[in-house]
Structure 1
Amino acid sequence: MVSDQVTSAVETEQETAKTLSRATLKRFAINVVSLFSVNVANMLLPLLTVPYVVRIIGPERLGLLNFSQAYVAYFTLLINYGFEMSAVRTIAANRTDKALVNRTFSEVIAGKTLLWILSTLVFAGITWFTPDFRSHIVLHTCTYITCIGVVLFPIWIYQAMEDLGRVAMFNLGVKILFTLSVFLLIRQPDDYIYQNLSISVAQVVVSVVALYVALRRFDLTFTWPSIAQLITRFREDSTLFFSSVMITLYAGSTVFLLGLLGNAYDVGIFSAGSRLEGIARSFVSLGLNQAFFPIVASAFGSGREDGLRVVRTTFFPLVAFMTVVSLVLWVIAPVFITLFYGDKFHDAILVLRIVSLLPILIGVSNLLGLHTMLNLRMDKAFFRITAIGSVVGLALNSLLIQKMGFIGAAYAWVAAEAYIALSMYVYLRSKGVQVVQLAYMREAISFSKNRLAILFKQR
């Protein structure tokens, strides 16, 4: 009996090793580093200007900058629709099918273009006819320019092809130049709009360069799709779109709701407190997940058990890493806030310590939802869970922001994420899918040691 268990464990590890081969892990490591550099360019580089900028513009204008970004994020959401996740899932499992890759590429670019036109009309109408928005129309327009980059930036094609190194270098180089331009442009409080303008222009430049390289590198051909093809694409990706809407309603709307129910100071303090957590989470949630998703999708393409084996083996190392990240955020909160933002932002320390729980919660929900439920084609269940979670998040935000301000917003966000992670776990178990199994802990430790040894072994 013991011999059979040992043999089964060895066979399981061998199967996992086949799925996560040395070449796959090396490619994964390169893509993680590449995606991390993209996120560093997008989030950390602007942060480097914070000690200089916030001392000139103050908490209120910082709040306006972040409120504008939260406002434009809704249009970014509409433009992305659900195309990118669906496209990665399709292309990652069919990379050798040239016709399918080109058709998917064309449908995504065309769909984003049409949604950008719609978004621009809606943005212009809301911004002009709403007095509060019109009073900051220049700021919002500067921020909205980034939506052009959202249409053109083909990070999803690089992601599906597991080839993110080149676009990361372009992104990093251009963002460095435009971030440094902030020091030249912001000289007095009213210059604060240049912060968002520089980020937007950088995004557009990077997107154009990345699209050009993708067309050449992957030999892509764009053909405007037929109406029938576009309708099919919109219909197939609608569930992922509405799931993204639900996620944004409870996670991305916090700053927006603070601006509506609170004041600019609340927005500034919350934004300062959640910024470092956002950077840490971007490495794990965006970096690791985006690089890992094509690997998991490919494994699920080989078979249900192959995909689940990869997810189960990954769970415990991921949770352990996330726990370390959260602990570090909690410990360094006072030092980080004081160093980067100054004494005026002392209230942001508590915000950072509350949201330091998010890397663990979001990491688990991403593994259960994005990697497991979506690859098992449980799209509707994923939508239902995120929809209910968004209602919970919005209700908590509306209640707690009015009573506790930015502190209430932080508690509401953590509570909503905890609800979603728990709901996904319960749903998967109800369907006989047990991602969290203690039996896999020993295998995960053994496998991780072996794979790391192989990955860094000298030739």
Structure 2
Amino acid sequence: MDGGGRPLLSARGVIDAGLVYGAHGLRFLAPLLLYPVLTRRFGVEGFGVYVAAVSLATMAAVVVDYGASLSGPRDIAAARQAAGSIIGRMLALRAALVLPAIGLGLWLGWINPVLDGDWAVVGAGIALGVGQGASLVWVFQGLRDPAPAALAEVGGTLAAAVVVMLSPGLGVAGALAVQAAGLWLGVGVGAGLMLRRVRLEWPRRGFVRRGLVEGGALFASRAAVTAYTGGVGFVVAALAGPGQAAIYAVADKIVGAASSLMRPLAGLVGPRIAGLLAEDAPTAFRTARWSLIVTPGLFLGLAAGLWIAAPVLVRLLVGEGFEDAVGALRTLVFILPLVAASQVLGLQLMTALRMDGRFALMVGVGCVATLGPAAVLAPAGGAEGMAGARLIGEAVVVLTCLVCLRPHWRFLFARGRHVPAV
């Protein structure tokens, strides 16, 4: 219930949320189905090349998206009558950014010694990344009907995963190309659904400059997050070689699947905090404090379980040749409670308090605090060194969140039920 006693979600909203979170879970299922096949098919070195290309795709996707997946739902929901104009402007900007994204992908493929010269792999990675950036789920989130597009895109991704698993003759470039085709199939279905719902309007002259300025802050935040999360496989490959990139990717994918369990909770608690801040601020801060205690605690327990199960998980998931992933996994699992804490402090509380500038600062600090230690730890320690750098970076992010929220400490950490009025 909200402050007025109304339910936070309607029955339709609960169904849509369940479908979206189900689609999100299936998105994580596809790599978990593929990894046992690809690691055995490509071996450690070949799988490291695959990981570097997937990381390249993630970075290219950020350029094409340019923050639209964050700002689009908000803008469309706030001005439903102008949805055709908003969507048309954002899609036109994305189209204009495809060439820069391709240029970035080619440059990344050239500077990374693991990918240098293998332009078929680089090209397939770029196609995958542009497809990721072209996702239209944000349009349907703004229209408050996200399930159809999400399920269509995930369906294409899963179909591609099945094709890859059933095609033993595919090399790294072929596997990436099939995954890109599956993703583009889902995007095409989403585009058809969108055109049935919305009449697009072509943007006015100068839309590129305006779009770049308006979306710059969100793009910078997304780029920084990608640099020290999704792009880490590329960094490890460049600093420590494809074998260590492959080993790190195994640990990262297991931890990533575990961290995805935070999304549904954040989707429920975050809007409640934002709504309560305008109506009952003391209760909003009590809710945030409760979330800050419970969520990291739950994920600390999950981290401990993964630490114990690490040898079995690695053996079942990827088989022989990846034994060193156990050490990387046992280090990396302890980012889970840290990420949970930063999600509560940053995504749930700082964004609700409209601390957008400080949030961007926090993301930038996290990027530097991860990649700086990585430059020292990864060349010598490989996958375990990179895992240690991630742990340092996530700890710094939590500390930065706390520093940014210092003016609100007396509300957030007040004892008992009697929180002072804001």
TM-score band by shorter chain is 0.7 to 0.9
Match of 2:259 among 281, 297, 300: 281
Please give the per-residue CA displacement for 1:91-116, whole angstroms capped at 9, x wherever unaligned.
44x2xx32343333223222222111
Cα shift readout 1:259-293 (whole Å, capped 9, x = no counterpart)? 111111101111111111111212324x5445765
Pick which of 289-298 and 77-86 moved more. Answer: 289-298
Answering whether residue 183 of structure 2 is matched by residue 186 of structure 1, we say: no
C-alpha displacement at 1:162, in angstroms? 4.4
Aligned counterpart for 2:232 among listed residues 232, 254, 258:
254
Q: Residue by residue, what CA displacement relative to the aligned partner does 1:184-207 show, whole Å, maximum 9, x if unpaired?
A: 3223xx623333222211111111
Q: Distance in 2 between the 1:360 and 1:64 partners?
A: 30
1:333 aligns with 2:315: no
- Which residue of structure 2 aligns with residue 36 of structure 1? 21
Amino acid at match of 2:320: D
Once the two structures are superposed, the pairs formed by residues 308-387 of structure 1 within 5 Å of their partners are 311-312=288-289, 314-387=291-364
**Aligned pair 1:63/2:43, yes or no?**
no
What amino acid is the match of 1:45?
A: A
Partner of 1:201: 181
Partner amino acid, structure 1, of 2:225: I
The answer to whether structure 1 residue 244 and structure 2 residue 222 are counterparts is yes
- Per-residue CA deviations over 1:431-454 (Å, capped at 9, x if unaligned) read 55744556469xxxxxxxxxxxxx
What fraction of aligned residue pairs are identical, expressed as a percent?
A: 21
Specify which of 22, 33, 39 is matched with residue 48 of structure 1: 33
Query: Could you tell me whether the CA contact under 8 Å between 1:16 and 1:306 is conserved in 2?
Result: no
Measure, in 1, the Cα distance between the counterparts of 2:199 and 2:410: 40
Q: 1:117 to 1:98 in 2, by over 3 A?
A: same
Aligned residues: 418
Contact 2:65 2:134 in 1 (8 A): no
From 102, 106, 110, the equivalent of 2:84 is 102
> 1:135 and 2:120 equivalent?
no
* 1:273 alignment partner AA: A
Partner of 1:393: 370
Distance 2:193 2:413 in 1: 40
Residue 149 of structure 1 pairs with residue 131 of structure 2: yes
Shift of 1:424: 0.5
Higher mean C-alpha displacement, 65-74 vs 148-157: 148-157
What code does the residue aligned with 2:258 have? A
Q: For 1:234 and 1:85, how far apart are their aligned partners in 2?
A: 14
Residue pair 2:251, 2:329 contacting (<8 A) in 1 also: yes
- What's the offset of the Cα at 1:347? 0.9
Q: Give the secondary structure class of the aligned counterpart of 1:344.
A: coil
Name 1:10's counterpart in structure 2.
none
Matched-pair contact (CA < 8 Å) for 2:342–2:398: yes
User: Structure 2 CA distance, aligned partners of 1:123 and 1:392?
Assistant: 25
CA drift at 1:317: 3.9
> Which residue of structure 1 aligns with residue 5 of structure 2?
18
> Does the 8 Å CA contact 2:113/2:238 hold for their aligned counterparts?
no
- How does 1:151-190 map onto structure 2 within 5 Å? 151-187=133-169
Q: 1:412 Cα deviation (Å)?
A: 0.6
Render the CA deviation track for 1:200-251: whole Å, top value 9, x for unaligned.
11111111212322343xx322212224454333323211211222222322
**Higher mean Cα deviation, 404-413 or 111-120?**
111-120
Equivalent positions of 1:79-90 (< 5 A) are 79-90=64-75
Q: Distance in 2 between matches of 1:263 and 1:82?
A: 31
Q: Aligned to 1:247, what secondary structure does the other structure show? A: helix
**CA RMSD, 1 decimal:** 3.1
| Offset, 1:56 | 2.1
1:417 equivalent to 2:417? Answer no
Alignment correspondent of 1:264? 242
Q: Give the structure, 1 or 2, with the largest relative contact order (CA under 8 Å, sep 6 or more).
A: 1
Distance 1:43 1:137 in 2: 27
TM, length-normalised to structure 1: 0.81
Taking structure 1 as reference, are residues 309 and 199 closer, same or farther at Cα in structure 2, changes over 3 Å only?
Answer: farther
- TM-aligned CA distance change 1:310 to 1:262, over 3 Å: same
Do the aligned residues in 1 keep the contact of 2:262 with 2:340 (CA within 8 Å)? yes
* 3-state secondary structure, aligned to 1:145: helix
TM-aligned CA deviation for residue 183 of structure 1: 2.5
- Give the CA deviation at 1:301: 7.2
Question: Aligned partners of 2:50 and 2:61: how far apart in 1?
Answer: 16
SS of aligned partner of 1:343: coil
Change (3 A) 1:29 1:315: farther
Contact 2:56 2:105 (8 Å CA) reproduced: no
Give how far 1:337 is off: 0.5
Q: Secondary structure at the match of 2:229?
A: helix
